[in-house]
Structure 1
Amino acid sequence: MTRHCSLHPLAAAALWALLAGAALPAGAQQDTGLAVGVSQQLLHDSNVLRAPEGNEQEAWVSLSGLRLSLDTPVGRGSFKANASADAVQYRHLSQLNHTSLKLDATLAFEAADHVFGEVGAATEQSLYRYDQLGLLQTQRSLRRDSRAFVAARVGVVTKWTAEGTLSLQDTRYTDVPLSVRDQRWLTAEAGLRYQPSLDLFFRGVVRHIDGAFTREGLVDDDFRRQEIEGVVFWQASGASSLTASAGLMREAHTLATVRDSRNWLGSVAWAWQPTAKLQLNTRWARDSNAGSNLSSTDAAFSNADTVRRSTASLGATWRLSPKVQLTAQAQRAQRTLDNTFSGLVQQSRQGRDTTDTLGLTLSYKPLRSVGLSCSAHQNRRTVEGDLGGLSYAFSAVDYGCAGQFWLR
Structure 2
Amino acid sequence: MRRAVLALPLLSATAALAEGNPWGIAGELDITHDSNVLRAPTGGAVSDTIFSAGLRGQLDQGIGRERLRVNALLEHNRFQNQRALDNLSHEVTVGLSFEPGNLVFGELNLRNARNLANRTLQDGRVLTQGNLERQTQTTLRLSKGVVSTWTLVGGFDAFQRRESEAAYALSDLSYHSLDLGVRYQSTPELRLTALLRRSQGEYPNLGSGDDYSRNDLELRALWEPTGASQVDTRLVWGNSDHSLSTIRSGTQWSGAVSWTWQATGKTRLLARAARYSDTGARDIGIGSTDIVKNYNDALIRTTVDVGARWRATGKILLEATASRSQRSLSASLQSGTASSTGSDRSHTLQLAVSYQALRNLQLACQAGRESRSISGNVAGRSFPYSSTTFGCSVQAWLR
TM-score by length of 2: 0.89
Give the number of equivalent residue pairs.
Answer: 376
2 CA distance for matches of 1:157 and 1:371?
47
1:258 is displaced (CA, Å) by: 2.2
1:138 is displaced (CA, Å) by: 1.7
Q: Does 1:351 align with 2:326?
A: no
1 CA distance for matches of 2:385 and 2:354?
29
* 1:27 corresponds to: none
* Structure 2 counterparts to residues 112-127 of structure 1, below 5 A: 112-127=101-116
Q: Does 1:237 align with 2:226?
A: yes
2 CA distance for matches of 1:273 and 1:69?
28
Q: Does 1:385 align with 2:379?
A: no
Letter in 2 for 1:364: Y
CA RMSD of aligned residues (A): 2.2
Q: Mind listing any 5+ residue stretches in structure 1 that lack a counterpart?
A: 1-29
* 1:24 corresponds to: none
Question: Alignment partner for residue 319 of structure 2, among 327, 348, 367?
Answer: 327
* 1:180 corresponds to: 170
Q: Does 1:309 align with 2:301?
A: yes
2 CA distance for matches of 1:150 and 1:300?
27
- Describe the SS at the equivalent of 2:54: strand
Structure with more helix by fraction? 1
2 CA distance for matches of 1:248 and 1:214?
26
- Describe the SS at the equivalent of 1:51: coil
1:370 is displaced (CA, Å) by: 1.6
- Describe the SS at the equivalent of 2:383: coil
1 CA distance for matches of 2:47 and 2:312?
33
2 CA distance for matches of 1:406 and 1:125?
23
1:59 is displaced (CA, Å) by: 0.5
2 CA distance for matches of 1:289 and 1:379?
25
Q: Does 1:246 align with 2:235?
A: yes
2 CA distance for matches of 1:118 and 1:293?
20
1:215 is displaced (CA, Å) by: 0.9
1:64 is displaced (CA, Å) by: 0.7
For the Cα contact (< 8 Å) 1:324–1:365, is it kept in 2? yes
* Structure 2 counterparts to residues 1-400 of structure 1, below 5 A: 33-128=22-117, 129-155=119-145, 158-215=148-205, 218-293=207-282, 296-297=285-286, 301-340=293-332, 349-400=340-391
Letter in 1 for 2:219: G
Tell me: CA distance 1:353–1:138, structure 2 relative to 1, closer, same or farther (3 Å).
Answer: same
2 CA distance for matches of 1:294 and 1:141?
19
Q: Mind listing any 5+ residue stretches in structure 2 that lack a counterpart?
A: 1-18
Letter in 1 for 2:341: Q
For the Cα contact (< 8 Å) 1:289–1:304, is it kept in 2? no
User: How big is each residue's C-alpha offset from its partner over 1:45-77, in whole Å with a ceiling of 9 and x where there is no partner?
Assistant: 000011122211001111111111111112211
1:157 is displaced (CA, Å) by: 8.8
1 CA distance for matches of 2:46 and 2:146?
53
1:340 is displaced (CA, Å) by: 4.2
1:397 is displaced (CA, Å) by: 0.2
User: How big is each residue's C-alpha offset from its partner over 1:115-143, in whole Å with a ceiling of 9 and x where there is no partner?
Assistant: 01222311111111222122222211111
For the Cα contact (< 8 Å) 1:62–1:88, is it kept in 2? yes
For the Cα contact (< 8 Å) 1:116–1:153, is it kept in 2? yes
1:366 is displaced (CA, Å) by: 2.6
1:151 is displaced (CA, Å) by: 2.2
TM-score by length of 1: 0.87
